[in-house]
A = this chain, B = another copy of it.
Amino acid sequence: MVELPAGTPPRRADARRNISAIVEAATRCLAEDPGVSMSAIATAAGVGRMTLYGHFESRSALVAVVVEHALDRAEAELSAVDVTGDPYDAMTRLLDASWTVTFRNGGLVQAADQALSPDLLERAHTQLVDRAKSVLRRGRSEGRFRKDMPLDWQVTAVQSLLHGAATAVHQGALTAARAPGLVTTSALALLAVPPAPSSGP
């Protein structure tokens, strides 16, 4: 359910329901196909094109609202992740939540790239990255994650695995059930301190 500002007059209940239905339908449609048309979104939302354009004057206005809504939801979900305790376990929980966000938003990121303000893009990037960085920093200082690679690369590598897995699922090359476990196992293998080379006799 999309939240509207408190105090919106009650006689606008229909409008609120329509906006909510449009944003939710647009989120689903854009995640599947970043190039989806306004007509297809109207159909998926069960409203007419006139109603759709009455609420959102352009496709990019709608995409901006959808992305802002998706970011709010992602922020709420990622903030709820417990990143304390063992860095491995913290990273595993964070990767699970990040997978959910990445996979759900799929094509949204692509749609957003074309329609999004630099501010929103920056915000999308920062919120996802900062949390991962803090867990990585702690894991590195506690000797749980390797330090022979730049922190930024570790973030890039983990993000690349998340995006690669999401794309593979969307293409049908990997199941959505299998993906998060593979991402987590792979990311932790990549981050782990490598075993010391066995010393000679």
Contact = CB atoms under 8 A, between A and B. Distances in A.
A157 interface: yes
Contact of A190 (B149, B168, B186): B186
A26 B7 CA distance: 57
Contacts of A178: 150
Contacts of A159: 164
23 contacts: A146-B189, A149-B182, A149-B186, A150-B174, A150-B182, A153-B174, A153-B182, A156-B165, A156-B173, A157-B164, A157-B182, A159-B164, A160-B160, A160-B161, A160-B163, A160-B164, A160-B165, A161-B161, A163-B164, A189-B190, A189-B192, A189-B194, A190-B190
Interface of A: 146, 148-150, 152-153, 156-157, 159-161, 163-165, 168, 173-174, 178, 182, 185-186, 189-190, 192, 194-195
